[in-house]
């Protein structure tokens, strides 16, 4: 089942004996475990009626489940990082090495699988896995067959926007769709990160009810992709001091030059496509769809390329391509390469004409 179905069951008072929580959305997974704990365990009796086991052996897990609850109807057993569910599959080379070693009994999970059929009625057993479960396919299948597998997949953009609005509503704030899109582009879609950034936004808004784009720009911690977008905007606007300052901040924060160069190359490629589409009479919605970017980004791209010619954007893109080639072919050092490229782009912007650069064959 998905986590919406899990929360619906919990709301209706249904608690299963067995669960496997797995998937990439860690924030919702943690929230689900907290909600289940509140449903199953009396906080005053938690010390006696809750066990958290980290990669337990079968006998330790069974012993915890066989312990009767104290002054309560249920007992909660949480198993984290079980090697039966998190072991990565071996490569052929590793399997060959294992074959040369003396045979050892490998944990198959069979003891646990058999025990799951006779779980005491008072037990709620949760296997909690960071990321996707793997390794113990028989155990996963067993839990799934018993109806306890809960998948925590990442929310799509539309659901994330609704979630952001709900989180801000708890602070007494409102946010429109465009600003929420900007927040997602600035911070990414990790809900644990977004939860922290939402709190920053609410604090920055102060007494204002409406959270604005200016709040996002001023308050949140921006991703490298977003900062590269800002860098390209400053270069395109001929703001040399601001561009060089932002580049310096990113390098000071530990970002690698080659990675930033790659992102800048991608950004100029998208700007070039946006310019061509606008000249072809296509609007921002078409740009957003074609380039796979949110409307907020498409609008900003439209504003950025209005003052640019397609020839200048093409030349800037080729400057990025060529610089990456020179680094990867060993013709120039990565050290100083980004700084050199930014200066070239600023000169190109100032002169306003193409300096044809072709990548080496």
43, 178, 285 from 112: Cα distances, Å: 28, 50, 53
Q: How confident is the model at residue 135 (pLDDT cuts 50, 70, 90)?
A: low
Name the CATH topology of 3-88+110-151.
Rossmann fold (3.40.50)
Lowest mean pLDDT, pick from 35-39, 163-167, 301-305, 355-359: 355-359
Are the C-beta atoms of residues 296 and 306 closer than 8 Å to each other? Answer: no
Per-residue pLDDT of 316-346, as tens digits, reads 999 999 999 999 999 999 999 999 999 999 8
Greatest mean pLDDT among 76-90, 115-129, 233-247, 338-352: 115-129
Task: For residue 292, give both structure tokens.
Answer: 């796979």
**Of residues 95 and 141, which shows the higher confidence score?**
141
User: pLDDT > 90: what percent of the chain?
Assistant: 44
List CB contacts of 184: < 8 A, sequence separation 6 or more.
157, 160, 161, 164, 194, 294
CA-to-CA dists, residue 226 to 251, 288, 300, 342, 346, angstroms: 15, 16, 12, 17, 20
| CATH topology (fold) of 224-351 | Zinc Finger, Delta Prime; domain 3 (1.20.272)
Domain boundaries defined on the chain: 3-88+110-151, 162-219, 224-351
pLDDT of 237 > 60? The answer is: yes
Buried b (16+ CB within 10 A) or exposed e, 334-361: eeebbeebbebbbebbeeeebeebeeee
**Which pLDDT does position 25 carry in this prediction?**
86
As given in the structure block, the two tokens for residue 323 are: 């610089």
Architecture of the domain defined by 162-219? Orthogonal Bundle (1.10)
Confidence band, pLDDT 50/70/90 cuts, at residue 111:
confident
pLDDT at 352: 66
Question: Strands across the sheet with 18-22, in order?
Answer: 50-54, 75-80, 123-128, 18-22, 149-151
3-88+110-151 and 162-219 in the same fold: no
Rounded Cα distance between 82 and 222, Å, is: 35
Report whether 220 contacts 188 (CB < 8 A): no
What is the model's pLDDT at position 200?
A: 93
């Amino acid at each position: 089942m998905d986590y919406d179905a899990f929360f619906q069951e919990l709301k209706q008072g249904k608690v299963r004996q067995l669960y496997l929580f797995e998937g990439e959305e860690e924030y919702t997974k943690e929230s689900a475990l907290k909600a289940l704990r509140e449903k199953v365990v009396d906080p005053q009796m938690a010390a006696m009626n809750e066990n958290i086991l980290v990669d337990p052996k079968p006998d330790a897990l069974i012993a915890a489940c066989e312990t009767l609850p104290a002054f309560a109807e249920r007992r909660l057993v949480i198993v984290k990082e079980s090697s039966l569910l998190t072991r990565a599959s071996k490569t052929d080379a590793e399997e060959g090495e294992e074959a040369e070693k003396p045979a050892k009994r490998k944990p198959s999970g069979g003891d646990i699988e058999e025990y799951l059929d006779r779980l005491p009625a008072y037990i709620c057993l949760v296997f909690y896995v960071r990321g996707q479960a793997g390794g113990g396919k028989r155990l996963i299948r067993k839990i799934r067959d018993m109806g306890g597998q809960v998948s925590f997949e990442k929310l799509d953009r539309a659901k994330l926007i609704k979630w952001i609005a709900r989180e801000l509503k708890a602070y007494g704030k409102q946010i429109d769709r465009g600003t929420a899109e900007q927040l997602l582009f600035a911070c990414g879609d990790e809900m644990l990160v977004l939860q922290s950034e939402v709190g920053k936004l609410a604090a920055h808004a102060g007494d204002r009810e409406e959270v604005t784009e200016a709040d996002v720009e001023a308050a949140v911690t921006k991703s490298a992709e977003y900062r590269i977008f800002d860098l390209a905007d400053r270069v395109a606007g001929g703001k040399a001091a601001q561009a060089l300052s932002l580049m310096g901040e990113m390098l000071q924060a530990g970002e690698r030059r080659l990675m930033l160069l790659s992102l800048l190359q991608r950004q100029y490629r998208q700007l070039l496509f946006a310019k061509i589409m606008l000249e072809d009479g296509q609007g921002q919605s078409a740009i957003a769809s074609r380039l796979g970017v949110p409307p907020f980004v498409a609008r900003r791209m439209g504003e950025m390329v209005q003052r640019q010619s397609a020839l200048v954007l093409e030349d800037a893109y080729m400057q990025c391509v060529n610089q990456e080639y020179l680094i990867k072919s060993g013709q120039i050092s990565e050290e100083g390469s980004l700084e050199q490229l930014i200066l070239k782009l600023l000169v190109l912007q100032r002169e306003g004409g193409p300096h044809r650069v072709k990548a080496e064959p």
